[in-house]
Amino acid sequence: MNTFETLGLPKPVLAAITELGFETPTPIQEKVIPVLLTGTTDVVALAQTGTGKTAGFGLPLVSLIDFASKSTQALILAPTRELCMQITSDIKNFSKHTRGANVVAVYGGASIMNQIYDLKKGAQIVVATPGRMVDIISRNKVDLSTIKYVVLDEADEMLNMGFQEDLDAILSTTPKEKNTWLFSATMPDEVLRISRKYMHEPVEITVGNKNQGNDNIEHVFYVTHERDRYAVLKRVADFHPDIFGLVFCRTKIETQKVADMLIKDGYNADALHGDLSQAQRDHVMKRFRGRTLQMLVATDVAARGIDVNDITHVIHYQLPDEIENYTHRSGRTARAGKTGISIAIINTRDLNKIRTLERLTKKRFTQGTIPSGYEICEKQLFWLVQRVHDTQVNEKSIESYLPKVYEQLKELTREEIIKRLVSIEFNRFLDYYKNAADLNANAAGGGEREHRPTREGMVRLFVSVGQMDGLTRDSLKTLIAESTGMDENIITWADVKNSFSFIEVKTEVSEALINAIKGKEFRNRPIRIESRGNREEGIPRQRDRGGRKEWGGGGERRGGSGGGYKGRSSSGGGYRGGSGGGGSFRERSGSGGGERRSSGGGFRERSGSGGSREKSGGGGFRERSGSGGGERSSGGGFSKKGGFGKKKDF
């Protein structure tokens, strides 16, 4: 077993450790200290609080710093003021017997002038929260040009708290030649992105105690606008080319719709819900188990008890109506000691539900950044390269063709061939994601919430139709008037959103209007008008009904009146593929040799300003049907079986 002595720490530091009463290194210290002490490498360490990680980076740091110099050599960034203070105090303890050591903490909520004064005296180590650090940098009160070590402590938490931009700003002002040590309890994509962007071939260190069961699930949520929900799903799939996932929807209709759209967009997906016969369900499950299917879209009920191993992602296309279903859903991944990711696609109103979930499950939920088109292209490119690298060549079968192949390619250099080979696939993604919008909704900004205060004597009503139905403010008023026989002028204000609208009417006519519209349809879709009631506040309350916890919201569950997020239950989530009742958004059909995006251009954006910003079409390529034994939409270039060399429909 290692001791602090054998780890290579210098004498003054060892003396400090003894005084602190540390007898043996913790597992993370054992692993990380020797690597960090080399002072020559970037490190990514997966470590929770309480594992001794502060000493893990603090001890090597005070061993490496040249305290004879007063220049700032190390910057430690941490998410909170408390952590900053804790780290500072620990580092001071570690450097107790080291002459000339000066550690300064800078964080928000305290006098910046005092902190600047402390910095002026010459601090070799600065411990900072990102926001305050940016402030100090912008005032030119710190010289980071001499930085040799940057520590990102609780990196996931910093990103979770929205410090991404600040981190970018800070890291870009530090010298290129430095070591970056990143510590994080979880490793969401955002942390990986930071490590990719700012670190050079980092050594990865994880402490060995594999957590059991649900602790192996990483909980992530993406906040987007309602209209972009499906586009986000596709991005998740595209960003994880080897995804083997379970997508949960709340209703059978929505489940089928999402599966249909995925299939249509070229993904290797299918639906599982109660409207299928037992034989159909068995068939779907067989394909999923056999990994012929890469994404299974399912209802909570149908997916109960699915015991498929190695599911990499559980995606909550919508959060479940009943809270405990979240745990059931997520538990489909990370089985048998494996790890898995549970991703919830939510809109800004659902943020409270995430907080409720965090409280109830005692798990931390990280807000993820929806991958950009650029990141997806990059990911796909390297995945493709990896597949080329790993492809097993059937020497015997290909042998006789090779002379002709070589002949055909003889004018091309090796580099040219590589470039062209990967471009065959890469270009599709580039085309598709070129100019792709940022789908992240500003969580703090309230997304689609309506902030205009309702005037006195008026009531605001929710209407289940919107721009997607081809409606404008005026035509919505006319539609309501014609459908109810009431005067158009009773509507004093209207706000037409993408898939729903709000109107204001006098309180005394609201009930009559709600009743008069009942049973009316527009383009085969029922028009519903409901009082927003408590939903306006958007504060879901957890209630216990018949032993089942539900998200509150001042009304019944989906399908009834009220309920925070049931606006479009009948239409299944803010988009309507081709089958939708004449809305302005239609899926492409039959353009360019098939209905998949693989044909490149020709995607149709939703018309109307509020339409989806993601093109229709979607992910992977499909193998020609027939290869999977005549199954519907079989194959998909993403499946393990679907080798790169197989015939594809482009």
With contacts defined by CB under 6 A, name the span among 23-31, 158-166, 419-427, 533-541 that binds ligand AMP. Answer: 23-31
With contacts defined by CB under 6 A, name the span among 19-27, 65-73, 257-265, 461-469 that binds ligand AMP. Answer: 19-27
Alpha-carbon distance values, 162 to 130, 181, 368, 371, 444 (Å): 10, 20, 10, 16, 10
**Interface with ligand AMP includes 371 (CB under 6 A)?**
no
With contacts defined by CB under 6 A, name the span among 34-42, 46-54, 240-248, 589-597 that binds ligand AMP. Answer: 46-54
> Which tokens hold the place of 189?
């994509």
Q: What is the largest distance, in Å, between two alpha-carbon atoms of the chain?
A: 89
Within its chain, how far is the Cα of 603 from the centroid? 25
With 0-12 / 13-18 / 19 or more C-beta atoms within 10 angstroms meaning exposed / middle / buried, residue 138 is exposed
Alpha-carbon distance values, 72 to 91, 106, 140, 147 (Å): 15, 13, 14, 6
With contacts defined by CB under 6 A, name the span among 45-53, 168-176, 485-493, 640-648 that binds ligand AMP. Answer: 45-53
Helix (H) or strand (E) holding 245: strand 245-249
Nearer of residues 33 and 243 to ligand AMP, judged by Cβ: 33
Which of 2, 10, 15, 22 lies at the binding interface for ligand AMP (CB under 6 A)? 22
Tokens 């930071």 belong to residue: 194
Which of 31, 53, 460, 535 lies at the binding interface for ligand AMP (CB under 6 A)? 53
> Which tokens hold the place of 135?
């402030």
Nearer of residues 26 and 327 to ligand AMP, judged by Cβ: 26
Least distance in angstroms from the C-beta of 496 to ligand AMP = 52
Nearer of residues 187 and 285 to ligand AMP, judged by Cβ: 187
> Which tokens hold the place of 606?
């939703």
Buried-exposed string 311-350: b where 16+ CB fall within 10 A, e elsewhere: bbbbbbbbbbbbbebbbbbbbbbbbeeeebbbbbbbbbbb
**Interface with ligand AMP includes 241 (CB under 6 A)?**
no
With contacts defined by CB under 6 A, name the span among 20-28, 96-104, 325-333, 629-637 that binds ligand AMP. Answer: 20-28
- Give 28-33 contacts, CB < 8 A, sequence gap 24+: 28/52, 28/53, 28/56, 28/205, 28/207, 29/55, 29/56, 29/59, 30/2, 31/205, 31/207, 32/56, 32/57, 32/60, 32/205, 33/7, 33/8, 33/9, 33/59, 33/60
Backbone φ, ψ for residue 44 (5° rounding):
-115, 120
**Interface with ligand AMP includes 89 (CB under 6 A)?**
no
Which of 9, 36, 55, 461 lies at the binding interface for ligand AMP (CB under 6 A)? 55
Least distance in angstroms from the C-beta of 155 to ligand AMP = 15
Least distance in angstroms from the C-beta of 95 to ligand AMP = 15
**Interface with ligand AMP includes 224 (CB under 6 A)?**
no
Within its chain, how far is the Cα of 630 from the centroid? 35
Least distance in angstroms from the C-beta of 21 to ligand AMP = 7
> Which tokens hold the place of 74?
């190390």
- Written as one string, the DSSP assignment of 330-392 is HTTSS-TT--EEEEEEE-GGGHHHHHHHHHHHT--EEEPPPPPHHHHHHHHHHHHHHHHHHPP
CA atoms within 13 A on the CB side of 318: 26
> Which tokens hold the place of 568?
């479009």
**Interface with ligand AMP includes 51 (CB under 6 A)?**
yes
Which of 26, 312, 339, 591 lies at the binding interface for ligand AMP (CB under 6 A)? 26
**Interface with ligand AMP includes 50 (CB under 6 A)?**
yes
Alpha-carbon distance values, 223 to 123, 126, 269, 565 (Å): 40, 34, 24, 14
Find the binding residues for ligand AMP in span 149-178 (CB under 6 A): none
**Interface with ligand AMP includes 49 (CB under 6 A)?**
yes
With 0-12 / 13-18 / 19 or more C-beta atoms within 10 angstroms meaning exposed / middle / buried, residue 228 is buried
Least distance in angstroms from the C-beta of 159 to ligand AMP = 19
**Interface with ligand AMP includes 88 (CB under 6 A)?**
no
Least distance in angstroms from the C-beta of 115 to ligand AMP = 23
Find the binding residues for ligand AMP in span 486-525 (CB under 6 A): none
Which of 33, 54, 119, 621 lies at the binding interface for ligand AMP (CB under 6 A)? 54
Nearer of residues 74 and 459 to ligand AMP, judged by Cβ: 74
Strands 179-184, 43-46: parallel, antiparallel or unpaired by DSSP?
parallel
**Interface with ligand AMP includes 52 (CB under 6 A)?**
yes
Least distance in angstroms from the C-beta of 4 to ligand AMP = 8
Nearer of residues 52 and 580 to ligand AMP, judged by Cβ: 52
Nearer of residues 55 and 272 to ligand AMP, judged by Cβ: 55
Beta-bridge partner residues of 521: 526
Least distance in angstroms from the C-beta of 178 to ligand AMP = 23
With 0-12 / 13-18 / 19 or more C-beta atoms within 10 angstroms meaning exposed / middle / buried, residue 35 is middle
Least distance in angstroms from the C-beta of 45 to ligand AMP = 11
**Interface with ligand AMP includes 31 (CB under 6 A)?**
no
Contacts with ligand AMP by CB under 6 A: the residue count is: 11
Tokens 């912008």 belong to residue: 138
Nearer of residues 50 and 305 to ligand AMP, judged by Cβ: 50
With contacts defined by CB under 6 A, name the span among 44-52, 231-239, 495-503, 624-632 that binds ligand AMP. Answer: 44-52
With contacts defined by CB under 6 A, name the span among 22-30, 201-209, 395-403, 461-469 that binds ligand AMP. Answer: 22-30
* The amino acid at 301: V
Which of 25, 60, 563, 637 lies at the binding interface for ligand AMP (CB under 6 A)? 25
Strands 43-46, 203-206: parallel, antiparallel or unpaired by DSSP?
parallel
Please say whether the dihedral angle defined by the alpha carbons of residues 219, 222, 227 and 232, taken in this order, is positive or negative.
Answer: negative
With contacts defined by CB under 6 A, name the span among 52-60, 277-285, 297-305, 423-431 that binds ligand AMP. Answer: 52-60
> What are the residues binding ligand AMP (CB under 6 A)?
22, 25-26, 29, 49-55
